Amino acid sequence: MDILDTDAYDRRQRRNMSCALFLSLLPFFASTGLYFYLWTPESKPSIIFAAVKSAPILLLAAVVLSWNGCQSVLGVVGGLLFSAVGDWCLIWSEHFLHGMGAFAASHLLYSLAFLSSRYATYSSSSWTRILSLILLLIGGTFYFHLYPFLQKAPDSDIVTPAVGAYIFLIVFMGALAIRTRRFATLMGSLVFMVSDMSLAVQVFNAAKIAHGQYFVMGTYYLAQLLIAVGDIRASENKEDFGKWKRS
């Protein structure tokens, strides 16, 4: 098999894998559509609604697990499972701190995944350091803006430092996503930041966003989808690199 035949074969393989990945994601798209179809501003907290809300994330976890196996359990799969727990908790406002804790664990596991050998590592360049610094400034500025509203919360002595630690974790995850130089991974992390910040300003009455819940959940599901696809692609590229080395 010459170089041209090998290249054509690789293209067919990538195309077939992309089609297979899309088909495996159809349950996620269907469950996401079901959530937006059922949700209304008047929706009351319930176990059924919590299940509908967390179902897309659990389906994403199943997809990543089926493609990557157990190597992603202490990474993106674990992060998705903690995210599903967070989704469940946030249905009830009195469990907001529990939900934030679950999402904090999720960001830690995503960070571990981005540091793993499945993601190609690159030496820090000037632009990655600049982008990481920009993320840090955005996170710090956002916390400074949110701080007066956090102080008005009933349990401000707990919420104020907890939100600060959470912002640091998601900024740290975003900085590690930049380091991977993978488009889906990077965009997923950045969209996750946008979703969480949008949720925070609404929860603590720092700003009003038109159709805020739709925006928060739309960006949230998109972020999780991109992170999941990025993790699957990272494993595929790692295997391709290993085959290239052995050839």
pLDDT at position 179 over 50: yes
| pLDDT of 6 | 52
Under 8 Å between Cβ of 146 and 204: yes
With vertex at residue 203, the alpha carbon angle to CA 201 and CA 207, rounded to the nearest 5 degrees, is: 35
What DSSP string runs through 26-69?
A: HHHHHHHHHHHHH--TTPPP-HHHHHHHHHHHHHHHHHHHHHHG
Tens-place pLDDT, residues 142-159: 999 999 999 998 889 999
Under 8 Å between Cβ of 192 and 220: yes
Tens-place pLDDT, residues 64-105: 999 998 888 889 999 999 999 999 999 998 999 999 999 999
Q: Closest by alpha carbon to 159, among 191, 203, 110?
A: 203
State how far the alpha carbon of 22 is from the alpha carbons of 50, 107, 228, in Å.
Answer: 26, 25, 12
Share of the chain above pLDDT 90, in %: 68
Tens-place pLDDT, residues 110-138: 999 999 888 865 556 788 889 999 999 99
Q: In the structure encoding, which two tokens stand for residue 154, read together?
A: 């009933």
Under 8 Å between Cβ of 64 and 228: yes
**Rounded distance between C-alpha atoms, residue 134 and residue 120, angstroms:** 23
